[in-house]
């Protein structure tokens, strides 16, 4: 097969993936999927404070096992919950570990490191 040709997963792959997502439960979140290239994108939607939110989209190959998919979904949940924790964790009223801090701003201060003193 020409490597430049994009592989399209068979329709039963997407049906199996959708059926698996229907079996997964976390809070009131809904897990979604869409065929994308040679695999699928998976993501979750949930309501928070009256608004609908989506997690980031995670790509999964059409060759993964059910265990790999459910582990990816768990990682998706953990990353999304960490995002919320970083927004809610405040020091002096500021989200100092917030997920929306520009990487350039972090690069500007990364040299300003704290070190422990000599314990002796």
What is the domain count for the chain?
1
Q: What percent of the chain has pLDDT over 90?
A: 81
In a domain, 100, yes or no: no
At 1 the pLDDT is 46
Quick check: 25 pLDDT over 80? yes
Mean pLDDT for the chain?
A: 92
The mean pLDDT of 42-66, rounded to a whole number, is: 95
Phi, psi (rounded to 5 degrees) for 8: -115, 125
> Is 68 part of any domain?
yes
Residue 38 has pLDDT above 90, yes or no: no
For residue 58, is it within any domain? yes
3-state helix/strand/coil string of 58-85: EEEECCCCHHHHHHHHHHHHHHHHHHHH
Position 94 in a domain:
no
**pLDDT, mean of residues 36-42:** 92
Domain that holds residue 32: 11-82
Tell me the per-residue pLDDT of 78-108, one tens digit each, with 9 for 90 and over. Answer: 999 999 999 999 999 999 999 999 999 999 9
User: Is residue 120 very low, low, confident or very high in pLDDT (cuts 50, 70, 90)?
Assistant: low
Q: Closest by alpha carbon to 31, among 54, 50, 52, 64?
A: 54
Instruction: Return the pLDDT at 86.
Output: 97
119 domain-assigned: no
């Amino acid at each position: 097969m020409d490597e430049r040709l994009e592989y399209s997963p068979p329709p039963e792959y997407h049906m199996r993936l959708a059926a698996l997502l229907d079996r997964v439960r976390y809070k009131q979140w809904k897990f979604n999927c869409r065929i994308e290239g040679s695999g699928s994108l998976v993501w979750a939607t949930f309501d928070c404070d009256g608004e609908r939110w989506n997690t980031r989209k995670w790509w999964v190959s059409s060759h993964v096992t059910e265990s790999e998919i459910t582990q990816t979904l768990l990682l998706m949940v953990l990353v999304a919950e960490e995002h919320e924790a970083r927004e809610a964790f405040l020091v002096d009223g500021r989200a100092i570990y917030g997920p929306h801090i520009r990487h350039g701003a972090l690069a500007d201060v990364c040299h300003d490191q704290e070190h422990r003193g000599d314990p002796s």
